[in-house]
Amino acid sequence: MLTLLTACQTEQKNPFFETYTTPYGAPPFDKIKVEHYMPAFLEGMAQQKAEIDAIVNNTEAPTFANTIEALEYSGSLLDKVTYVFFNVYMADGNDEMGKIAEEVSPLLSEQSDYIMLNEGLFERVKAVYEAKETLNLNKEQAKLLEETYKSFVRGGANLNKEQKAELSRINKELGLAELQFSKNVLDATNAYQKWIEDESELAGLPESVKQAAAEAAKAAGQEGKWLFTVQKSSFLPVLQYSDNRELRKELLMAYTSLANHDDNLDNKAVINKIMKLRVQQAQLFGFTTPAGFILDNTMAKTPEAVYSFLETVWTPSLAQAKVEAAELQKLMDEEGKGEKLEPWDWWYYAEKLRKAKYDLDEEELKAYFKLENVRKGAFDLAGKLWGLQFKQLEDMPVYNPEVEVFEVSDSDGSLIGILYTDYFPRAGKRAGAWMNEIAPQYVRDGVNHRPVIINVGNFTRPTADKPSLLTMDEVSTLFHEFGHALHGLLSQCTYKSLSGTNVARDFVELPSQLMENWCYEPEVMKTYAFHYETGEVIPDELIEKIQKASTFNQGFVMTELLSASLLDMDYHSIADTADIDVNAFEKASMEKMGMIPEIIVRYRSTYFSHIFTTGYSAGYYSYTWAAVLDSDAFQAFKETGDIYNQEVATAYRKNILERGGTEDPMVLYQQFRGKMPNPDYLLIKRGFLPAAK
């Protein structure tokens, strides 16, 4: 039998089996090859199983140290390879990595079940948990014990033998189904190409948009043509500016029908499989619906609380959207074409109305939003609030040449962590923007291991003669993901399972969304908004226009977002395993909520990756839930008359950013704010309530 040591010795050249010698202990991406992943996964799983067996077979009485902490520290090699593999797979994957993902997914599910369904291990965990009042634990230790015990219960430890076998089957099949959903969305996104050969079809498009499409075509070997895709940075400018109504319609319909064409990439059957498995899983634990099971472990607690909350915001949002639709229809009527407002018209006429109402042209604004400057503005903001310093590291190994790396230091020069940024779309990258850990923050044996964090986006690419110039939405997204990064970077927790963004799903968006509040404040804009050609700082009159237009089109924005949240809840309120007609289910959901036909839900079912693959199942409401928190939290700064107020910034850092999941999130929030959040601040910010005088 091959021993673990011998297995390691036979793979000496595998970087995962050696201590990283890269600066800051970052992964040596230049040395990691595809063939290194699977051996590291297998060895990592074997090592962790041996560590689990050692805990179970320990003849000493269960203690916090020999059971809870020992479990917390297990699986270091498996964590090491898992963090790297899935970060690279999401941002720069290929078919070979896809095959590894398919192979390793059921193995990781089995590994999780080996721990969560291990009767001997649970007996020890339960023994420590039941003795918790006698152990004199500090708050973080008590929270780790509570979360560990809860994870075992929610992982199936209290189920009988037959139920555990059933749960293992469900977990394995669910992992593969979710992986298939994600792969289908990526492949469908990459498969769609809209070629334009006649420039007259591009009427209304800014030169920068046409140039980007021309360069995309050239890169695809079709010089002299224009290429558009269903990446948002490609098709949204068409929806916003193109005079070609048919082109707008074609691109929007291509996007909103992703993975919904009854072909090999269709996700409707996959959704059925996922939902059946989630219903079975929830009912194994005594819950009627997946939403009941999932929300039991959140701030909201119940589906009824989420529906009630969403309805409170949905009603004024929909009412405002109807007012906006009428305004846009009036604009169309004035053109005398006899056309009715359709979803592919909304962006186009909203842009016309914005120019008419506020003399605000987003294309003009983009000239001031050079990506590198916006990123520096986010960095400078963190400097003013908390004294953080960012230094670019030129010689760090990266998984793609477009990735940049920064050392983040505190005001006293001590290391905070390392931040990677990866901002442009590519074939192997899934859509959207996100933050992730490459290595988490934790403390062990007196050593504070600082985190390695990554921000990923799909922003507008630079062209031959222009840098990457961001839209206002992309500026907000950059600040948003940077807020997540700060949550990971500033963590000061003992245990990695509680550190950084390891918090309740409906709390995790607070740090990200709070950062968005700063990005259009005049004082902040003047630190990053410089004309890319002249270097001129953004003029006061342009900032004033942005401020006046801040509540423009918010009915559309909120209705699009909230309809997706309600659709998510409707899916996860399914209580049986009968087949559903996905398109009919979605249509019925929209009709039930009163959705107007001029707006399409932000994510249609077949590409709604948030709820079917990336952990926001029965949780998409979190963005709006957190919007209440972030609006209230920013008010704490505004009330002082200083958006950089050091006392408030310090309280926020100490009570939220540094604390991770070490205490109940509402307790943490009230420790920062001194009171419960006031939802009126969100409605005021969106323009649904008058500003307080």
Tokens of residue 674, six digits: 């001194």
Q: What value does the mean pLDDT take over residues 129-133?
A: 97
DSSP conformational letter for 321: H
Digit-coded pLDDT (tens) for 643-689: 999 999 999 999 999 999 999 999 999 999 999 999 999 999 999 88
Tokens of residue 636, six digits: 């704490």
Residue intervals of the chain classified under CATH 1.10.1370.10 are 268-360+555-612
Closest by CA to 464, choosing from 214, 281, 646, is 214
By DSSP bridging, strand 226-228 and strand 194-196 are antiparallel
Q: What is residue 5's predicted lDDT score, i.e. its pLDDT? A: 41
Name the phi and psi angles at 419, rounded to 5.
-120, 125
Residue 3 pLDDT more than 50?
no
In the set 69, 481, 560, 586, the catalytic residue is 481
For residue 637, CA distances in Å to 231, 244, 614 come to: 36, 45, 33
Digit-coded pLDDT (tens) for 327-342: 999 999 999 999 999 9
Residue 521 pLDDT more than 60?
yes
Cβ pair 101, 179 in contact under 8 A: yes
Percent of the chain residues past pLDDT 90, beyond the cut: 96
User: What is the Rg, in whole angstroms, of the alpha carbon atoms belonging to the chain?
Assistant: 25
5-14, 488-497, 512-521: least confidently modelled range: 5-14
Tokens of residue 480, six digits: 């948003």
Residue intervals of the chain classified under CATH 1.10.1370.40 are 4-158, 371-548+622-685
Residue 691 pLDDT more than 90?
no
Residue 10 pLDDT more than 80?
no
Predicted model pTM:
0.93
By DSSP bridging, strand 415-422 and strand 452-456 are parallel
Q: What is residue 11's predicted lDDT score, i.e. its pLDDT? A: 44
Q: Just give the CATH number of 268-360+555-612.
A: 1.10.1370.10
Q: Just give the CATH number of 4-158.
A: 1.10.1370.40
Tell me if residue 521 is catalytic: no
Q: What is the H or E stretch that residue 439 is in?
A: strand 434-439
For residue 237, CA distances in Å to 201, 209, 234, 404 come to: 14, 7, 7, 27
Top-tier CATH class for 371-548+622-685: mainly alpha
CA distance 104 to 44: 12
Digit-coded pLDDT (tens) for 293-350: 999 989 999 999 999 999 999 999 999 999 999 999 999 999 999 999 999 999 999 9
Percent of the chain residues past pLDDT 70, beyond the cut: 98
